[in-house]
Structures are given as structure tokens and as C-alpha cells.
């Protein structure tokens, strides 16, 4: 039987540092990442893909703001913005794979599922939102938007201005996960939990979208656990996880245990805005029954010794 793998695309798979996020840039970046996954496909893997959406959802929010100022159009809530980017990024990934498959004479379907992810409405993160989203504002603009929408704005530590902050709650349940598993096991490439999934809560048996951003690595890890994936890949912009990153005593990690990963987290080797969430997602997957999680850059895929492997 084919092995089943979940692959989480990092933001660099869609938009590189210094780029503006044009359609041409994004389709070229996605196509390169899709090309790198051929190694897994040729090793008879079935693949499910999760992806980030940070720059894209920020651009969508800017578009809504411009439409509001110019034409009086409503600014849409966070869950709606995430759904928009799930569709647009899913299209780019499908386009990338289909063009590569045409060249390689591969016959395989690529399916994007616009995916809701349930969170707990009592999650403590809702009481202390810290995840910055969207554009920067000056203090007066931020105060005006806060008064108008009830959103919370906080000053950027680097002095770039004020940004809206939302909660980043823990993902609990992925909608249509059984269908994701069926499609993947049938040999289709499935794109799901884009941007961590559309954040929703259940109240009085009704599904309600909420102002939140779910970590895409943790949501992808949940997918990997729920579908019984053999392996979980987290793609980033470095080939391995490092201790003392970019310092004279920098050390690349090849294979580490869950206990070692937890120790390194506790010692502060991994930053919250970069590697720490990825390592936590890896720990969750392996602790929940997964065989191993590999953190690496896309170009390393297909190499049996690629990346840092987190094992039991």
C-alpha cells in the first residue's frame, strides 16, 4: 500500500522575502514547491497538503479596507478572509501540480477543500489575543477602527505602527476529515486546512465564524493524526532545525526524540515567530501516534536523510 503523508507548506512556498505577492510571483513559487514534491509521489506516497496564508490574508484585508473607504463596501470578518485565501491559494497549488503533471505524464487528481476547523469558544487565547494580522496603522487610525469594529489593536514592538490582533486558539476538529482521508487513500492530492482552516465555534448547535487565526502547522498535524498519516512534513526556509541558530556555535539537528525536542523548547532555542510552533506541531503528531515528523526545506524532499526528524 502507498504511504500517506501530510505536507505543510510554509509561507516561503507561496511568497518569498522581498516580493510583492503578484500572481506571477506566487504561481512560480508554488510551482517550484510542487515540483519538489514529485520525489515523494514517485516513491508512491499519497499526499495531503496544508498551507499558510499570512501575506495573502493581509492583502485581502487591505483590499476590503480600500473598498470600504472608496465605495462603502463592508469589511469582511476574519473567517471570511481565510475562506477567500483558501480558494485562491488552492487554485495556485492545483495549477502548479496540473502543469507539472502534464510535463511528467502523470495522471492524478488535485482537489482543494475549503475547510472549517472548529475551536473552543472558551479557549483562553480569546481573552488575550496576540496574533497580529493585516496592515499597520497609526494610533489615530487604529483607535478609530477599534471604536468602529470592536477589534483590538496593539503597537508593533519594532515601531512600525499599530496592527489588529486576534486569538490563535487550538484546533479541535477538522470538517470533512473523513472525505479528506478517502480522497487521499484513493490516490488524489488533497489541499485542506488552508491558513490553518476557517476558524469556527459551535454555539446552540449552530456553526459560527470567529475572529481568529489557527496555526497552520498545528492544524496540519491534527489532519495528519486524524487520517492516520505515516509521516508529517513541515516545509520551511531552512534545511534543518538548529540549536543556537545563526550563532558561532550553531548546530544542525538530524534526529531528535520528543523528550529532546521538549527540552530544547524549554531552553528557548526556538523562537515563537519561527521554529517553535513547528516543533510543537511535530511533537503533537508523534505523541499522537505518528511515526515521525520531518522539518526541512522543499528542495530537500526526496533525500532520505533530509531535514530534522522528530521521533518517539
52, 54, 278, 290: which is the annotated catalytic residue? 278
User: Can 251 be counted among the known catalytic residues?
Assistant: no
User: Can 107 be counted among the known catalytic residues?
Assistant: no
12, 46, 53, 59: which is the annotated catalytic residue? 12
User: Can 216 be counted among the known catalytic residues?
Assistant: yes
User: Can 11 be counted among the known catalytic residues?
Assistant: yes
With b for 16 or more beta-carbon neighbours within 10 A and e for fewer, the 31-49 pattern comes to bebbbbbbbbbeeebbbbb
Burial of 15 (0-12, 13-18, 19+ CB in 10 A): buried
**What is the C-alpha separation between 66 and 72, in angstroms, rounded?**
9
**What is the C-alpha separation between 236 and 4, in angstroms, rounded?**
20
C-alpha grid cell for residue 274? 519561527
90, 96, 131, 240: which is the annotated catalytic residue? 131
What are the φ/ψ torsions at residue 86 (nearest 5 degrees)? -60, -45
SS (H, E, C) the chain: CCEEEEEEECHHHCCCCCCCCCHHHHHHHHHHHHHHCHHHHHCCEEEEEEECCHHHHHHHHHHHHHHHHHHCCCCCCHHHHHHHHHHHHHHHHHHHHHHHHHHHCCCCCEEECCCEEECCCCCHHHHCCCEEEEEEECHHHHHHHHHHHCCEEEECCCCCCEEEEEECCCCCEECCHHHHHHHHHCCCEEECCHHHCEEEEEECCEEEECCECCCHHHHHHHHHHHCCCCEEEEEECCCCEEECCCCCCCEEECEEEHHHHHHHHHCCCCCCCCCHHHHHHHHHHHHCCCCEEEEEEHHHCCCCCCCEEEEC
164, 181, 216, 240: which is the annotated catalytic residue? 216
Known catalytic residues are: 11-12, 131, 216, 278
Amino acid at each position: 500500500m502507498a504511504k500517506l503523508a501530510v505536507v505543510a507548506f510554509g509561507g516561503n512556498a507561496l511568497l518569498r522575502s522581498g516580493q510583492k505577492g503578484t500572481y506571477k510571483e506566487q504561481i512560480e513559487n508554488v510551482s517550484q514547491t510542487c515540483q519538489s514534491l514529485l520525489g515523494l509521489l514517485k516513491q508512491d506516497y499519497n499526499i495531503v497538503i496544508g498551507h499558510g496564508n499570512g501575506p495573502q490574508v493581509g492583502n485581502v484585508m487591505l483590499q476590503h479596507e480600500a473598498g470600504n473607504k472608496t465605495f462603502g463596501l463592508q469589511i469582511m470578518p476574519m473567517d471570511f478572509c481565510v475562506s477567500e485565501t483558501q480558494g485562491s491559494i488552492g487554485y495556485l497549488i492545483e495549477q502548479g501540480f496540473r502543469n507539472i503533471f502534464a510535463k511528467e505524464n502523470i495522471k492524478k487528481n488535485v482537489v482543494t477543500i475549503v475547510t472549517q476547523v472548529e475551536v473552543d469558544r472558551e479557549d483562553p487565547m480569546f481573552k488575550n489575543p496576540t496574533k497580529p494580522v493585516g496592515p499597520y496603522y497609526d494610533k489615530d487610525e487604529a483607535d478609530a477602527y477599534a471604536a468602529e469594529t470592536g477589534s483590538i489593536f496593539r503597537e508593533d514592538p519594532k515601531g512600525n505602527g499599530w496592527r489588529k490582533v486576534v486569538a490563535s486558539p487550538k484546533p479541535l476538529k477538522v470538517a470533512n476529515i473523513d472525505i479528506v482521508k478517502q480522497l487521499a487513500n484513493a490516490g488524489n492530492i488533497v489541499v485542506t486546512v488552508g491558513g490553518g482552516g476557517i476558524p469556527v465555534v459551535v454555539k446552540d448547535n449552530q456553526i459560527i465564524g470567529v475572529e481568529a487565526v489557527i496555526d497552520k502547522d498545528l492544524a496540519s498535524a491534527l489532519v495528519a493524526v486524524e487520517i492516520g498519516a505515516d509521516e508529517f512534513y513541515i516545509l520551511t526556509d531552512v534545511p534543518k532545525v538548529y540549536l543556537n541558530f545563526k550563532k558561532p556555535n550553531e548546530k544542525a539537528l538530524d534526529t531528535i526524540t520528543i523528550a529532546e525536542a521538549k527540552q530544547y523548547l524549554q531552553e528557548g532555542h526556538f523562537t515563537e515567530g519561527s521554529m517553535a510552533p513547528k516543533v510543537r506541531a511535530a511533537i503533537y503528531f508523534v505523541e499522537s501516534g505518528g511515526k515521525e515528523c520531518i522539518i526541512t526545506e522543499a528542495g530537500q524532499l526526496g533525500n532520505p536523510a533530509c531535514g530534522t526528524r522528530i521521533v518517539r
